[in-house]
Amino acid sequence: MKIVLAQQNYHIGNFEKNTQKIIDAIQQAKKEKADLIVFSELCICGYPPRDFLEFEDFIEECYKAIDKIREHADTIGVIVGSPMRNPEKEGKDLFNAAWLLYEKEVKGFAHKTCLPTYDVFDEYRYFEPGYSWNTVEFKGKKIALTICEDIWNLGDNPLYRICPMDELIKQNPDLMINISASPFDYDHDDDRKEIIRRNVLKYKLPMFYCNAIGSQTEVVFDGGSLVLDAQGNIIKELKYFEEDFAVVEMFVDGRPLTANESNLHHKANTEQRSSNNIPFDKEMRVAKIKDAEKIIEYLTSENNIRQIHDALILGIRDYFGKMGFSKAILDAEQLSKNLGNRYDIIPIENIYDSFLSTLKPVFENLPFNVAEENIQSRTRGNLLMAIANKFGYILLNTSNKSELATGYGTLYGDMAGGLSVLGDVYKMQVYALAKYINHDREIIPENILIKEPSAELRPDQKDSDSLPAYDILDKVLYQYIEKRQGPKEIIAMGIDEQLVNRILKLVNTNEYKRNQFCPIIRVSCKAFGVGRRVPIVGKYLS
Amino acid sequence: MKIVLAQQNYHIGNFEKNTQKIIDAIQQAKKEKADLIVFSELCICGYPPRDFLEFEDFIEECYKAIDKIREHADTIGVIVGSPMRNPEKEGKDLFNAAWLLYEKEVKGFAHKTCLPTYDVFDEYRYFEPGYSWNTVEFKGKKIALTICEDIWNLGDNPLYRICPMDELIKQNPDLMINISASPFDYDHDDDRKEIIRRNVLKYKLPMFYCNAIGSQTEVVFDGGSLVLDAQGNIIKELKYFEEDFAVVEMFVDGRPLTANESNLHHKANTEQRSSNNIPFDKEMRVAKIKDAEKIIEYLTSENNIRQIHDALILGIRDYFGKMGFSKAILDAEQLSKNLGNRYDIIPIENIYDSFLSTLKPVFENLPFNVAEENIQSRTRGNLLMAIANKFGYILLNTSNKSELATGYGTLYGDMAGGLSVLGDVYKMQVYALAKYINHDREIIPENILIKEPSAELRPDQKDSDSLPAYDILDKVLYQYIEKRQGPKEIIAMGIDEQLVNRILKLVNTNEYKRNQFCPIIRVSCKAFGVGRRVPIVGKYLS
């Protein structure tokens, strides 16, 4: 039995394009004489569809697309993800479902049971959790069909009270298929392989795992779909940050293929993780590094920086492609020279002076303060936006996570822009990323790496006038934001109490600024934006 | 038995202030010789605490506050709302709980079962749903204790598969107590009374219902706590949009008080609603008006406008109070004169000219377009922000819901500001609100009501150059946003197909602008902001 994994990039709500993409892959799979083709979670409408799911019209479009695809699922089985209406009156109206289409009919389905509702995920907002479990039959084989988070509920301290595979295994399935929309973050590198391996070893079944790829505003799905044999060996690993298509011959003489019989086979490289005793349960959802002394080393490690680099490129490319932009604008003379890009030097003095003289009667003779600094920053922002508006460019925002965390930025000034590229990258990581990009030749000007950071809004201004050194700041921020540690734990790391309190207060009192910020490409396990929801009028650690 | 309802306004995460407020009410209740005092949902930390709940430190603060309050719950019973740790390893770590404190001990508790996870609510993000149900005993009476949404799961088409009161009633309770944080919206005026009445009639028990009041960034809680006798008559109704404190003698000679024995008694005024056959189930969560022809009449009705007015005042006042602002800035000469407020006239010409001359080399001789319009709007925004920054004011944003919906506004220009007052009020409602405010004398200048709306960014510009007439626009927007109707249903109302498609496309393609907008005081059942989450890179009806 030949099974295809189709790892594709969808556009949310673009039914015509998504459906055509799926049908194209089905045609290709037919040419390969495959028996079954597997797509990713909610591939029909794209993931995450968010509140579009609340429109009956949107659900009808999903059903129409399923009907179209069904016509092509004649001699080949097709597993797709799409919302399914709940036939019961009780509970939410929809399930997050996997559909098995074959002989132009719906031959089986599975409802997602474990609905991620944390960080960037809101699935219980829309879906009723599955509450009955049945394998689906295909060509004489029983498939344990699950959806993404359904296979992540392992460990002693699980997030959900039900583990769907524990139910499905009672029906003696022959293989597991999981369709996913599992996003990238550098804090959880390799977790996916490990969780799949643990499922394989627990249930002693081969696993076909199909993940989505592509960036959806802020969330980056990185692909890396997998096939494991029943012994936990990887038979096939699909590309990361790219679309991919793989055919796997699963059964040889009626028995499952073993790694020795496949072309690609290596043990899931998870020994290191396992030896760290990293639990695959609730704690999985926060950052994992335990050694506080090594945080900066960890954050700036080449492995993490390389993946951040790839994720950001996909994030920018998909935002452009899906929003219809082709050109960006930002502010950086030497970098433009290095890249051979057009640049303009636009002095802000005249505009700044006209602001000051216009405001003179109102400001009276009050001393220079943040108001004048912000005028400069906003003048820059306005000039960039004016050019973007005139020529149809997008203004890329360049604030980093350390600045956003501490509110070290001007609303409508340097915080302006349509997409934040570095908003989930700490300052120390920005340096490491620049060095990584400069690996072969100087692209990022060396001067940016060595000069003292400054907002350049008054003479001799330095970031360090207002903020602690970035290596200390980033360590505290990471403990607080990614690891959700409180002041007690952070102080216990040996960092000055007053400093810790000051930093946490900066983070919490500047929520109002981040609330007006553009989408941030998410690369960590806790980015500002849709995945981090804290009250603005709150009074906590502030 | 004397029971007190304490309807209070909390500050999220401000444990010191909230705890003191609760203790003060306990002292007052003791003076009144009350047996039991009831506070609202999550009163200890304030509602909604959002991701603060993910910090162990925050939960510890909740427990410390409970310990403090327990010391005052000696001769009086105290029911408060606060997170409770889940002793089981399986499932989320917290419950949303009601605690009964008495004789300085925790005498009982209830876990919230129906966790609202829609619109502005994210409760399943944090809490495990309750899965066992027991009445709590107090002074020989059995209390069916529930939390907010727990009593809303009625009707033929309920949102949740479990109805906690159906479980609790099996233990023959003597009365029901529900602690709530139930927000205001004008679309659901009177629903609360009706749902409480239906519970009372279904279970044949008196109900003590304590709601929160106060505005938390965007969500306005309006109070209106209630006591109903077992026949469905209102014995006590607390104030709306204000704190309140009420003592009710519940039992007379050992039997429950009847309405005839209370001072205040009138039937819950719900006949009209009931006769409309409005379902109390899933459909409850969308706007209810069925007669599409009467939408504008409904939106601008005096009953709705009066409540919107009161909610906005509370929303502004609490945002100021909780964020520490005392003065605001906005742009309106005649209004300032009418109110006797300071105003300044600041010409933008010089600044605008300096922008144009600075940009001339880049813009070359391209024709005037939206870029120049936006420069004007952003110059105004910058001037307002500069004054706000210089003097520590907050810039109040004046965009209305019709403008935000269609993207008729300039990012960083007229869309700037710290709080949006009218962002959930359609243009037709803005007019009605102005007339309501002008009830006794002209406060809002008459000219604003009669002149043709204009952004005033080029000569003779009118909103109607770009947008359909507001009475048609608002009708379409309300059908789409509040009632979640698709294009088919809206066109079926008799509105031109092209116009409907154009409006829906405007709404969907401008999500990127609203994503950077400030918090909006929510008065409808579907406000832009945290309660409406749609993809930015989506391609749906666009």
Span A511-522, pLDDT tens digits: 999 999 999 999
User: Which of A413-427, B221-235, B274-288 is the least confident region?
Assistant: B274-288
ipTM more than 0.85?
yes
* The predicted structure's pLDDT at residue A287: 84
Q: Is B106 helix (H, G, I), strand (E, B) or coil?
A: strand
Contact B538 A49 (CB under 8 A): yes
If you measure CA to CA, which chain B residue comes closest to A316? B537
Confidence band for A284, pLDDT divided at 50, 70 and 90: confident
B337: CB partners within 8 A, 6+ apart = B343
Q: How far is A13 from chain B (nearest CA, A)?
A: 5
CA distance A389 to A325: 12
The residue-averaged pLDDT of A504-510 equals 97
* The predicted structure's pLDDT at residue B348: 97
Helix-helix angle B370-391:A370-391, to 10 degrees: 170
Choose the closest CB to A371 out of B389, B517, B534.
B389
* The predicted structure's pLDDT at residue B112: 98
Choose the closest CB to A533 out of B122, B319, B411.
B122
Check if the beta carbon of residue A256 is closer than 8 Å to that of residue A250. yes
The residue-averaged pLDDT of A94-112 equals 98
Confidence band for B262, pLDDT divided at 50, 70 and 90: low
In a mutational test of the A interface, the residue from B88, B163, B419, B540 whose CB has the highest number of chain A CBs within 10 Å is B540
* The predicted structure's pLDDT at residue B456: 85
Is the model's pLDDT at B278 over the cut of 60?
A: no
Q: Write the pLDDT tens digit of every residue in B285-339.
A: 788 787 888 999 999 999 999 999 999 999 999 999 999 999 999 999 999 999 9
The residue-averaged pLDDT of A356-368 equals 96
**Which helix (H) or strand (E) element contains residue B177?**
strand B175-179
Is the model's pLDDT at A541 over the cut of 90?
A: yes
Contact B382 A412 (CB under 8 A): yes
Check if the beta carbon of residue A521 is closer than 8 Å to that of residue A218. yes
User: For residue B92, which residues of chain A lie inside 8 Å, CB to CB?
Assistant: 159, 282
pTM of this prediction?
0.96
**Which helix (H) or strand (E) element contains residue B394?**
strand B394-397
The residue-averaged pLDDT of A390-411 equals 98
Is the model's pLDDT at A280 over the cut of 90?
A: no
Q: How far is B482 from chain A (nearest CA, A)?
A: 11
In degrees, rounded to 5, the angle at the alpha carbon of residue A169 between the alpha carbons of residues A91 and A157 is 65
Is the model's pLDDT at A270 over the cut of 60?
A: no
* The predicted structure's pLDDT at residue A401: 98
User: For residue A131, which residues of chain B lie inside 8 Å, CB to CB?
Assistant: 161
If you measure CA to CA, which chain B residue comes closest to A540? B13
In a mutational test of the A interface, the residue from B218, B537, B539, B542 whose CB has the highest number of chain A CBs within 10 Å is B537
Is the model's pLDDT at B266 over the cut of 60?
A: no
If you measure CA to CA, which chain B residue comes closest to A377? B382
For residue B91, how many other CB atoms are within 10 A of its CB? Answer: 19
Task: For residue B481, report the phi and psi dihedrals to the nearest 5 degrees.
Answer: -85, -55
Is the model's pLDDT at B391 over the cut of 80?
A: yes
Q: Write the pLDDT tens digit of every residue in A20-69.
A: 999 999 999 999 999 999 999 999 999 999 999 999 999 999 999 999 99
Is the model's pLDDT at A9 over the cut of 60?
A: yes
* The predicted structure's pLDDT at residue A272: 44
Q: In which region does residue B190 sit, left (phi positive, over 0), alpha (psi from -120 to 50) or beta (all else)?
A: left
Select the more confidently predicted residue: A250 or B472.
B472
* The predicted structure's pLDDT at residue A265: 47
Is the model's pLDDT at A271 over the cut of 80?
A: no
User: For residue A125, which residues of chain B lie inside 8 Å, CB to CB?
Assistant: 117-118, 122, 533
Is the model's pLDDT at A260 over the cut of 90?
A: no
Confidence band for B265, pLDDT divided at 50, 70 and 90: very low
Task: Dihedral sign for Cα A328, A333, A336, A340, please.
Answer: positive
Please give the mean pLDDT across all residues of chain B: 94
Q: How far is B395 from chain A (nearest CA, A)?
A: 12
CA distance A298 to A276: 15
Is the model's pLDDT at A462 over the cut of 50?
A: yes
Closest by Cα among A520, A504, A503, A514 to A536: A514
Is the model's pLDDT at B68 over the cut of 80?
A: yes
